A and B are shown apart, each in its own frame.
Chain A
Amino acid sequence: MLGKTARGLFWMFRYLERSENTARLVDAGFRIALTRSAAASDEWSSIVTTAGVREAYLEKHSQFAAAPVIDFLLRDRSNSSSVMSVVDAARANARMVRTALTREVWEATNECWITLKDLLARQVAETDLPDVLAVIRRQSALVRGALHGTMLRNDIYDFARIGTFVERADNTARILDVKYYVLLPSVSHVGSSLDNVQWETILRSVSAQRAYRWISGGTASPMGIAELLILDRRMPRSLAFCTAQLRENLAFLADDYGAALPCHDLAEGIYRDLIDRSIESIFDSRLHDFLGEFIRRNNELGARIEHDYRFYG
């Protein structure tokens, strides 16, 4: 496979994953704004930070309010992480690697782009927002479905999956990092309505409300939420799940190519550090530091994969 093709697949699926994650973030913010208008501005601010576009946002807007934030995150092409920008980029990458994709995957990606371009051509009215967000998530899911259903499990598939999980791990870690303070035992007043709303937001932004209800049996605790999103390998957006998938797909590549590379050691290290941890030890060593370190190592892994598999040269 061409190094360029590996790069195209990696980024195509990173971008698709990002479109879905951004839609979830906006959904979570919108929910808070509806239910607790007093906290809305703070909430939009933290969502912009989580999306990693705070600086770019402040260059254009001075206040954090629903309309400008939603527009910036969904439609603004000057924001390279807006849903429209990343769907553009995903499709451009898909075109570049068209020969590596099945017709189904290409057509799902192309339809995703056609649909969203149309849907996001104008400012999204608040009444339409839930529908629009649902369509964004669904379009991304359709591409993923086509990928699972039609693609050969070879290196092409591995690079697509690796892109997905590098992005997803980063996203979940950022959500936790921006909100880590509401999970700390010291400031939480269990059962207070503020915390309940904040916890709910965290769960909602990774579509884990239902999963958490099943697991916790109805009692919400910050440590329980953190454990679900960091260490629970059954939860498809948890850090443990993502790193296990990364390790596995990288191992397939090493098998396929008959060569273990530095990125394999890195992935193994990240995986080991998570898998043997208890949630208590993570809280003891300061949640914020732990998450910062995780984000750094996950980025390093992405860069290492680019290098080891000759994405650029």
Chain B
Amino acid sequence: MNGNGEGPREPYCEYCRWFAGEDPARLRKKTQEAETFFRRTGITFNVYGQEEAAERLIPFDIVPHIISDREWARLARGIEQRVRAINAFLHDIYHRQEILLAGRIPVDLISNNEAWLPQMVGVSPPGGIYTHIVGVDIVRTGENEFFVLEDNARTPSGVSYMLENRETMLHMFPGLFSRIKVREVSDYPKKLRRSLAACAPAGAADPPVVAVLTPGIHNSAYFEHSFLADQMGVELVEGHDLSVVEGRIAMRTTQGFTPIDVLYRRIDDDYLDPLCFNPDSMLGVPGIMDAYRAGNITIANAPGAGISDDKAIYSYMPEIVEFYTGEKAILSNVPTWRCSDADALAYVLEHLGELVVKEVHGSGGYGMLVGPAASKKEIAAFAAKLKARPANYIAQPTLALSTVPILTRSGLAPRHVDLRPFVLASPSRIDITPGGLTRVALKAGSLVVNSSQGGGTKDTWVLEE
């Protein structure tokens, strides 16, 4: 369990002592218990394209992912630096574009990018914050060696699993938590509300009226939307609950219209405002962009924030961090070949069997090639796609990821994981909840952790000093 298969690493020691004293049969029963708990609570996600809008459970593994306080401190510093840089980058890219003028990133990377919103040029969001909520996907290769896989700066999801996974563990193993001191995550909704309220526009109510905007009950993350609204004690609204009333966005209540100050939206930019973006969108609010540009509402995250988590931009993150903070990036990027570059493309085509190739705009683990796990036929087919649209892809080496234990039928076994800590940004502070969502590839040797492709989740523990 040291990540290299040679006995447990230090933060796991106490857990292992506890584990050794437990009856394996009882623990396996606990796994089933967790499943019943999740199903009854309705912690499910919808799978698109399946009959009956099937609601599925994400498999849960009862062995926590444990991180020492020292490793966490370093990780948190690195994440904070990165999130500051992302917000500075977004402000710059929609205003003076100094980074382009300085020639640090190519102009066409921005101008040809779907995530770039010309409608946002010159718009300054209240408080100057673009990405209020960020989920940074991280993998570990060894002691204090972390790599950022992806920055999720649009509408990162999964935080409800972070919270419910902990609740489930507390419920099932209360004794474990008195033995091992783990840092709290349960105040996340309170912090989220505080952080969002701190970004309210001038002229907002006191306290500001916050609401969560969801596409509705058929969305794959609907459970999370309602969970967060519930935990924050704010309204969960859909587009058709909202109207523009005297220049402000207001929700239709049983007693008339109530203006909203901060809208935590969980729908994509493209659907936000049919007058401004996709005219066929039924999910958004006609006129919300006008209200936004007039400074009458905060939209979290800001429209256009996606330009910062684009996979092609990702490869420039070390430069971006350095440009805006004046410091070297604390967290490493995974080395990335941009296939738009002819030399890089040639290298990638030659080494497809060793690389992971991703679509620049893809998400959810679809449309990617995991070279070491792919057949000759799959590689050949992918090479053809790659040659047809090279700019659509980036490639990365498969890292020698450290592993964490999961409970299988035959006891503990090592698996690959990634970790998504959740970061809240407001004008006065950046707040990172200790822990995050650990996703685990349940198949031995697999690197794909996406829930849509057979991944599971675990509770994440950051130990107290």
B residues 214-244 in Cβ contact with A at 8 Å: 216-217, 222, 226-227, 229-230, 235-238, 240-241
Distance, CA A303 to CA B42, complexed state (A): 32
Which residues from chain B sit less than 8 Å from chain A, CB to CB?
39-42, 216-217, 222, 226-227, 229-230, 235-238, 240-241, 251-256
A309 partner residues in chain B, CB cutoff 8 A: 254
Complex-state Cα separation, A313 to B226, whole angstroms: 22
Report B-chain residues with C-beta under 8 Å of the C-beta of A111: 40
Task: Give Cα A107–Cα B36 distance, bound, in whole angstroms.
Answer: 12
Contacts A98-B226, A99-B229; is A4 near B252 (CB within 8 Å)?
yes
Closest to A308 in B: B254
Which chain A residues lie closer than 8 Å to B40 at the CB level?
A: 107, 110-111, 114
Choose one: B42, B237, B254; the contact of A155 (CB below 8 Å): B254
A257 at the interface (CB under 8 A from B): yes
List 19 interface pairs A-B (beta carbons < 8 Å), by A numbering: A1-B253, A2-B252, A4-B240, A4-B252, A95-B222, A95-B226, A98-B236, A99-B226, A99-B229, A99-B230, A103-B41, A107-B40, A107-B41, A111-B40, A114-B39, A114-B40, A310-B252, A310-B254, A313-B240
> Is the pair B254, A6 in contact by a Cβ cutoff of 8 Å?
yes
Chain B residue contacts of A313, Cβ below 8 A: 240, 252
Chain B hits for A96, CB < 8 A: 216-217
CA distance A5 to B251 in the complex (A): 11
User: With a CB–CB cut-off of 8 A, which chain A residues contact B253?
Assistant: 1-3, 310
Asked if A121 is at the interface (CB within 8 A of a chain B CB), the reply is no
Nearest residue in A to B229 (C-beta to C-beta)?
A99
CB distance from B167 to the nearest CB of A (A): 11
CB neighbors of B among A119-160 (8 A): 155
Q: A95-B222, A99-B236, A309-B254 are in contact. Are A3 and B241 (CB under 8 A)?
A: yes
Bound Cα distance A1, B240 (Å): 15
Closest B-chain residue to A257, C-beta based? B255
Contact of A99 among B42, B216, B235, B238 (CB under 8 A): B235
Count CB-based A-B contacts (< 8 Å).
59
Contacts of B251 in A (CB 8 A): 2
Say how far B87's CB is from chain A's closest CB, in angstroms: 30
Q: Do residues A95 and B237 form an inter-chain contact, with CB atoms below 8 A?
A: no
Would you call A95 and B42 a contact (CB within 8 A)? yes
- Binding site secondary structure of chain A: helix
Which residue of chain B is the closest to A98 with respect to CB atoms? B226
Check if B217 sits within 8 Å of A257, measured CB to CB: no
CA distance A313 to B217 in the complex (A): 19
Known A95-B217, A310-B252, A313-B252; contact A2-B241, beta-carbon cutoff 8 A: yes
**Chain A, residue nearest B237 (CB):** A2
Of chain B, the residue at the smallest CB distance from A7 is B254
A92 interface hit (Cβ, 8 Å): yes
Q: Is the CB of A4 within 8 A of B226?
A: no
Shortest Cβ distance from A94 into B: residue: B42
**Complex alpha-carbon distance, A96 and B230, angstroms:** 12
Which residues does chain A contribute within 8 Å of B235, judged by CB atoms?
A: 2, 5, 99
The B-contacting residues of A in range 89-103, CB under 8 angstroms, are 92, 95-96, 98-99, 103
The 5 closest A-B pairs by CB, nearest first: A98-B226, A99-B230, A309-B254, A3-B252, A95-B217
Let me know if A13 is at the binding interface, CB within 8 A.
no
A106 is an interface residue with CB less than 8 A from chain B: yes
Which residues from A are CB-within-8-Å of B41?
Answer: 103, 107, 110
Query: Chain A: residues with CB nearer than 8 A to chain B?
Result: 1-6, 92, 95-96, 98-99, 103, 106-107, 110-111, 114, 155, 257, 259, 309-310, 313
A88 to chain B, nearest CB (A): 10
A2 CA to B254 CA, complexed, in Å: 6
Once A4-B238, A4-B241, A106-B42 are accepted as A-B contacts, the answer to whether A98 and B252 lie under 8 Å apart by CB is: no
Bound: A6/B237 CA distance, A? 13
* Central interface residue in B39, B235, B251, B253, by most chain A CB within 10 Å: B253
Q: Which residues of chain B come closer than 8 Å to A5, judged between CB atoms?
A: 235
Shortest Cβ distance from A114 into B: residue? B39
Q: Which residues of B contact A95 (CB under 8 A)?
A: 42, 217, 222, 226
What's the nearest-Cβ distance from chain B to residue A263, in Å?
12
Q: Which residue of A lies closest to B257 (CB)?
A: A310
In the complex, what's the smallest C-beta–C-beta distance from B213 to chain A, in angstroms?
12
User: Which residue of chain A has the shortest Cβ distance to B254 in the bound complex?
Assistant: A309
A114 / chain B contacts, CB cutoff of 8 Å: 39-40
Given A98-B226, A98-B227, A107-B42: 15 more A-B contacts, CB < 8 Å: A2-B254, A3-B252, A4-B240, A4-B252, A5-B235, A95-B42, A98-B230, A98-B236, A99-B229, A99-B236, A103-B41, A107-B40, A155-B254, A257-B254, A310-B254
**Cβ of B42: which chain A residues have Cβ within 8 Å of it?**
95, 98, 106-107, 110
Q: How far, in angstroms, from A1 to B251 measured CA to CA in the complex?
A: 9
- Rounded to whole angstroms, the CA-CA distance of A106 and B229 in the bound complex is 15
* CB of B35 to closest CB in A, whole Å: 13
Q: How far is the CA of A96 from the CA of B237 in the complex (A)?
A: 10
- Residues in A whose Cβ lies below 8 Å from that of B216: 96
> Smallest distance from the beta carbon of A3 to chain B beta carbons, Å?
5
A57 CB, nearest partner CB in chain B, Å: 24
Smallest beta-carbon distance B249→chain A, Å: 14
Q: Which residue of B lies closest to A110 (CB)?
A: B42
By beta carbon, the residue of chain B nearest A313 is B252
- In whole angstroms, how far apart are the Cα atoms of A95 and B226 in the complex? 8
Distance between A107 CB and nearest chain B CB, rounded to angstroms: 5
> Which A residues are in CB contact (< 8 Å) with B255?
257, 259
Interchain CA distance A146-B42 in the complex, whole Å: 17
B235 to chain A, nearest CB (A): 6
How far does the alpha carbon of A106 sit from the alpha carbon of B217 in the complex, in Å? Answer: 14
* Distance in angstroms between the alpha carbons of A1 and B226 in the assembled complex: 15
Question: Which of A1, A99, A103 is B254 in contact with, Cβ under 8 Å?
Answer: A1
Q: Which residue of B lies closest to A158 (CB)?
A: B254
How distant is B8 from chain A, measured CB to nearest CB, in Å?
37
Residue of A nearest to B217 (CB): A95
Name the residue on B nearest A258 (C-beta): B255
Residues of A within 8 A of B240 (CB): 4, 313
**Chain B: minimal CB distance from A130 (Å):** 27
With A4-B238, A110-B40 in contact, do A92 and B217 touch (Cβ < 8 Å)? yes
How many angstroms between the C-alpha atoms of A257 and B252 in the bound complex?
15
In the complex, which residues of chain A have a beta carbon less than 8 angstroms from the beta carbon of B226? Answer: 95, 98-99
Task: For residue B196, give the distance in angstroms from its CB to the closest CB of chain A.
Answer: 16
B41, B217, B240: residue with the most chain A Cβ atoms closer than 10 Å: B217
Least CB separation from A309: chain B residue: B254
- Please name all residues of chain B whose beta carbon is closer than 8 Å to the beta carbon of A6 when the two chains form the complex: 254
Docked CA distance A5–B253 (Å): 8
In the assembled complex, the CB of A153 is this many whole angstroms from the nearest CB of chain B, namely 16
Query: What residue in chain B is nearest A108 (Cβ atoms)?
Result: B40
CA distance A253 to B368 in the complex (A): 55
Which residues of A are found within 8 Å of B217, using beta-carbon distances? 92, 95-96
Which of A96, A98, A110, A259 neighbours the largest number of chain B CB atoms within 10 Å of its CB? A98
Residue of A nearest to B242 (CB): A2
